[in-house]
Amino acid sequence: MQNKLNVVFTIDRNYIQHFCVTCTSLLENNPNLGRIFLVHDMECNTDIIKAINFLNQKYKCFIHQITLSDTIFDNFKISHHLTKATYFRLLLAEILPKDMDRVLFLDADIIVNGSLEEIVHSNFSKNRAISHSGKQNLTADDEYYLLAVDHKLGDNLHWMRKIGFKGLKYFNAGVMYINLQKWRSSNMSRTLIQNAIQYNEYIRWWDQDVLNITFDGEWGELDFTFNAFGLLADEGKDHKIIHYIGSSKPWHFRNKHPYKQLYWQYLKMTPFKNYTPVDLTFFNILKSLLPASWKKKIKSILQL
């Protein structure tokens, strides 16, 4: 079992700043990491150079860059705030070094709020009793392809049923501890791409759907604290990772996430500290200052 946690991100030009913030929070709380990889589709981008230089110099770490062309996913479904770069994670087993048998994938819209050392000591055994007994002579069939957090969708998976999904659980792919060794031995990158093509017309949540249909029943659970998403209030809990899912993000002025300030706390530590939200307009500022009772009255007048 490896002693240090290896981490990988996949981004496009829209997420350079947010990657820098996420990685800053990661390194502030986890100084003893292994290798960090950044997969992107940019050549000679000044912002990516600025982010990489800052992280290298401040934390004395080397960010390994892997450049891919997003044209390989030209026919793949994207919508809302997603781009084709989100599909890069389907190829991780092929593009990451072959001497690395496991890696933690992190989205770039998260804040790491604590130590992730516990993940390093996780294994992929399907039988927890065996894994805790110290026996490590597991075969590939005894192991999961990845560990992730249940998205808690329950029976609300009707679009997935149409493409043959049989499971009762669906994981959020923003945080995945990946068994690279098993992905490679099963040639999963090829299967993932094939499924992305086959189900392209039916998927709703892009590559996350592809990952779930491919690993249906073949993934293990991480505790919610390692991917705390959908939070409506400050729960006062020791969440290790705060995940800002959805199209409204903490870098938006109008965003109301209860842990929004965590993003800005780490942003102020980066070269992007002077960032101004694109939705910071006079109208939105005025609207934010109006009492709730006034907003309600104005809304009722406009509906007349």
The pLDDT tens digits of the residues spanning 130-139 come to: 444 444 555 6
Q: Which CATH class is domain 7-267?
A: alpha beta
Beta strands at 241-243 and 7-10: parallel, antiparallel or unpaired: unpaired
pLDDT at 108 over 50: yes
pTM for this one?
0.87
Beta strands in the chain (DSSP E): 7-10, 36-40, 63-67, 103-106, 110-112, 146-150, 171-178, 219-221, 241-243
Token pair 């029943």 is found at 217
Token pair 């516990």 is found at 118
The pLDDT tens digits of the residues spanning 98-107 come to: 999 999 999 9
Whether 177 and 116 have beta carbons less than 8 Å apart is answered as no
CA 157, CA 241: separation in Å to the nearest integer?
Answer: 25
**Per-domain residue ranges of the chain:** 7-267
The pLDDT tens digits of the residues spanning 3-32 come to: 799 999 999 899 999 999 999 999 999 999
CA 193, CA 59: separation in Å to the nearest integer?
Answer: 36
Whether 116 and 240 have beta carbons less than 8 Å apart is answered as yes
CA 268, CA 277: separation in Å to the nearest integer?
Answer: 14
Token pair 């060794």 is found at 181
Q: Which residues lie below 8 Å from residue 246, measured CB to CB, with a gap of 6+?
A: none
